[in-house]
C-alpha cells in the first residue's frame, strides 16, 4: 500500500506578507491587487479576511465591499517563488518523489519510508516542523494511501492541520463528503448528480458503474473508483528540464578504448557542470553510441539516489561503454542525464573533500569561461606507457 502526503501551505501569499510585516498579523490581508484595482482578482487572503466571505478568485472590487477595512496588497511574486523554492528543498529532504502541484502545494510519495518514523502522524509532524523552521510558515498536511485521500485530508483541518487517513479508515471517512469534493466533479457534474439525489460520496456509491459511464463517459469509471477511495494516479516528479546531455562526433572514427575513455571524461565533466549550474541532480545516466555504420544505441542506468558529480557520471557512463562497445569503430559518443530533481542529498553519500574540489573546479570554470582544472582521466594519453 502506498503512503502519499499532500502538503498545502496555509493562505500562502498572505502568510508570507504577515510574516514579513508584523503589523499585518491578525488582520484581514488580501493579496491580488490594490484596493482601487478594477480588474484585480484575489489570489490569496488571510484567514481573518475569509471570515468576511472573501475567497480566492473573487474580484477585488467585491472583496472591498465584503471587507472594507481589509488590507489590499498587489503581491510580490518573486518573493513568493523564492519562499516556494525553500519549501521545496524541505520536501526533497523527505522524499525524492515530489510532485509540485503549484507554488504552495505538492504531493510526496513516502511509500517505503514509513518505518523511519514512529507513526505517520510523526512523519507529518516532522515535515510541518521542518517547513516552519525553514520559512516560519504553517502548512496543512494530509497523509493517505493515494493522492485523492491525501489531498482531501490536507484540506480537512486547515490551517496548520495534520490529518492521517489509514487505508482501513478510508471507506467510512469518505462517505459523508459532498460529491463536489471528488476530484473532477465540477458544477455541471454535481448538478446532474443532484438531479439523481446523489449529494454525498455515500450516495455516489449507490450508482452503478454502468450508469456512471453511460452518463459521464470515461470519467464515470473514475467517479465510481474515487467514491470507493480508489485512485491509481502516481506521484509524478516533474522538473523544468527533462534531460540534458552532451555528445560529440569524431572527425575520424575511433576504436581505441583509451581515447573513448578520455572523451567520455570530458563529456562527463561538461554534463556534471551543467547539472550543478542548473541546481539539478539526475537519477538516470544514458550513454549514446553511434558506430561507423551509423547504427546508434543508447544504454541507461538508473540509480537509487540522484547524482551530479562528474566522478559518478563518468563511472556509470564508462561502465556502460565497457559493456556495450564491441569491436566496432565509434563515430559519436554522448552522455545524457535524466530524471532530474532540483535537489539531491549528495553530501550524505559522498566524500566532502570531493564535493569541495568539485565546487572549486566549477568556480574556476565559471570565472574563466572554460575548464581550468582537469581530472587525470581527461588528459590525452600520449605516453604509450600510460595507455591501456
Ligand atoms: Mg494553499
Point out the domain boundary residue: 115, 144, 167: 167
| Centroid of ligand 1 to alpha carbon of 99 (angstroms) | 15
Sheet order of strands, 139-144 included: 98-102, 105-109, 4-9, 139-144, 162-164
234 secondary structure, DSSP code: P
Let me know whether 200 and 273 are in one domain.
Answer: no
Point out the domain boundary residue: 142, 167, 192: 167
365: containing domain: 243-378
| Centroid of ligand 1 to alpha carbon of 10 (angstroms) | 5
Let me know whether 150 and 292 are in one domain.
Answer: no
| Centroid of ligand 1 to alpha carbon of 227 (angstroms) | 24
Q: Which pLDDT tens digit goes with each residue over 272-294?
A: 998 888 778 888 899 999 888 88
Q: What is the CATH number of the domain that holds 263?
A: 3.30.1490.100
Let me know whether 157 and 100 are in one domain.
Answer: yes
**Which residue, chain included where needed, has cell 446523489?**
198
**Residue 115 counted as domain residue:** yes
**Residue 132 counted as domain residue:** yes
Q: 338 near 284, Cβ under 8 Å?
A: yes
For the record, the C-alpha cell of 65 comes out as 465591499
| Centroid of ligand 1 to alpha carbon of 178 (angstroms) | 21
Let me know whether 180 and 322 are in one domain.
Answer: no
**Which pLDDT score, from 0 to 100, does residue 73 have?**
94
Please, which pLDDT band fits residue 344 given cuts at 50, 70 and 90? Answer: low
| Centroid of ligand 1 to alpha carbon of 388 (angstroms) | 59
For the record, the C-alpha cell of 136 comes out as 516560519
Task: Tell how far CA 18 is from the center of its chain.
Answer: 26
Q: Which pLDDT tens digit goes with each residue over 353-387?
A: 888 888 888 888 888 888 888 888 888 766 444 44
Let me know whether 155 and 223 are in one domain.
Answer: no
Domain count, the chain: 3
Let me know whether 261 and 362 are in one domain.
Answer: yes
Whether pTM > 0.85 for this model: the answer is no
Q: Which pLDDT tens digit goes with each residue over 202-237?
A: 999 999 999 999 999 989 999 999 999 999 998 887
Point out the domain boundary residue: 127, 144, 167: 167
Let me know whether 40 and 150 are in one domain.
Answer: yes
Whether residue 168 is predicted with pLDDT greater than 70 in this model: the reply is yes
Burial 323-361 (b: 16+ CB within 10 A, else e): eeeeeeebbbbbbbbbbbbbbbebeeebeeeeeebbeeb
Catalytic machinery residues: 105
Let me know whether 6 and 127 are in one domain.
Answer: yes
Q: Distance between the two ends of the chain, CA-based, in angstroms?
A: 51
**Which pLDDT score, from 0 to 100, does residue 382 have?**
61
Beta strands 281-291 and 243-254 are unpaired
Q: What is the CATH number of the domain that holds 6?
A: 3.30.70.270
Whether residue 347 is predicted with pLDDT greater than 50 in this model: the reply is no
The 3-class secondary structure across 34-99, one letter per residue, is CCCCCCCECCEECHHHHCCCCCCCCEHHHHHHHCCCCEEECCCHHHHHHHHHHHHHHHHHHCCCEE
Which of 150-154, 248-252, 298-302 has the highest mean predicted lDDT (pLDDT)?
150-154
Let me know whether 193 and 296 are in one domain.
Answer: no
Environment class of 41 (CB within 10 Å of its CB; exposed 0-12, middle 13-18, buried 19+): middle
Let me know whether 87 and 179 are in one domain.
Answer: no
Let me know whether 186 and 158 are in one domain.
Answer: no
Q: What is the CATH number of the domain that holds 202?
A: 1.10.150.20
Let me know whether 181 and 255 are in one domain.
Answer: no
Task: Tell how far CA 27 is from the center of its chain.
Answer: 33
Of 165 and 297, the structure prediction assigns the larger pLDDT to 165
Amino acid at each position: 500500500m502506498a503512503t502519499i502526503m499532500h502538503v498545502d501551505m496555509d493562505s500562502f501569499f498572505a502568510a508570507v506578507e504577515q510574516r514579513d510585516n508584523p503589523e499585518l498579523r491578525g488582520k484581514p490581508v488580501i493579496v491580488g491587487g490594490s484596493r482601487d484595482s478594477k480588474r484585480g482578482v484575489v489570489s490569496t487572503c488571510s484567514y481573518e479576511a475569509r471570515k468576511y466571505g472573501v475567497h480566492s478568485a473573487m474580484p477585488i472590487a467585491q472583496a472591498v465591499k465584503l471587507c472594507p477595512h481589509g488590507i489590499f496588497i498587489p503581491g510580490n511574486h518573486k518573493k513568493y517563488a523564492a519562499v516556494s523554492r525553500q519549501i521545496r528543498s524541505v520536501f526533497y529532504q523527505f522524499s525524492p518523489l515530489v510532485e509540485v502541484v503549484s507554488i504552495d502545494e505538492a504531493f510526496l510519495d513516502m511509500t517505503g519510508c514509513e518505518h523511519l518514523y514512529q507513526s505517520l502522524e510523526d512523519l507529518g509532524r516532522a515535515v510541518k516542523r521542518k517547513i516552519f523552521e525553514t520559512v516560519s510558515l504553517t502548512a496543512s498536511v494530509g497523509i493517505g494511501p493515494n493522492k485523492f485521500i491525501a489531498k482531501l485530508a490536507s484540506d480537512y483541518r486547515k490551517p496548520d492541520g495534520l490529518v492521517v487517513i489509514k487505508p482501513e479508515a478510508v471507506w467510512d471517512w469518505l462517505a459523508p463528503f459532498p460529491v463536489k469534493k471528488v476530484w473532477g466533479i465540477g458544477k455541471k457534474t454535481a448538478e446532474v448528480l443532484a438531479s439523481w439525489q446523489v449529494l454525498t460520496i455515500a450516495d455516489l456509491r449507490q450508482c452503478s458503474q454502468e450508469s456512471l459511464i453511460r452518463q459521464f463517459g470515461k470519467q464515470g469509471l473514475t467517479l465510481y473508483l474515487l467514491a470507493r477511495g480508489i485512485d491509481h494516479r502516481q506521484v509524478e516528479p516533474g522538473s523544468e528540464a527533462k534531460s540534458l546531455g552532451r555528445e560529440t562526433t569524431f572527425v575520424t572514427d575511433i576504436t581505441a578504448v583509451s581515447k573513448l575513455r578520455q572523451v567520455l571524461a570530458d563529456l562527463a565533466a561538461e554534463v556534471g557542470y551543467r547539472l550543478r549550474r542548473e541546481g539539478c541532480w539526475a537519477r538516470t545516466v544514458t550513454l549514446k553510441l553511434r558506430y561507423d555504420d551509423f547504427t546508434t544505441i543508447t544504454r541507461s542506468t538508473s540509480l537509487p539516489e540522484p547524482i551530479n558529480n562528474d566522478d559518478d557520471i563518468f563511472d556509470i557512463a564508462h561502465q556502460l561503454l565497457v559493456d556495450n562497445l564491441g569491436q566496432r569503430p565509434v563515430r559519436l559518443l554522448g552522455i545524457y542525464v535524466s530524471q532530474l530533481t532540483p535537489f539531491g542529498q549528495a553530501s550524505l553519500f559522498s566524500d566532502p573533500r570531493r564535493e569541495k574540489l568539485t565546487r572549486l573546479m566549477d568556480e574556476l570554470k565559471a570565472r574563466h569561461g572554460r575548464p581550468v582544472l582537469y581530472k587525470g582521466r581527461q588528459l590525452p594519453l600520449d605516453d604509450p606507457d600510460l595507455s591501456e
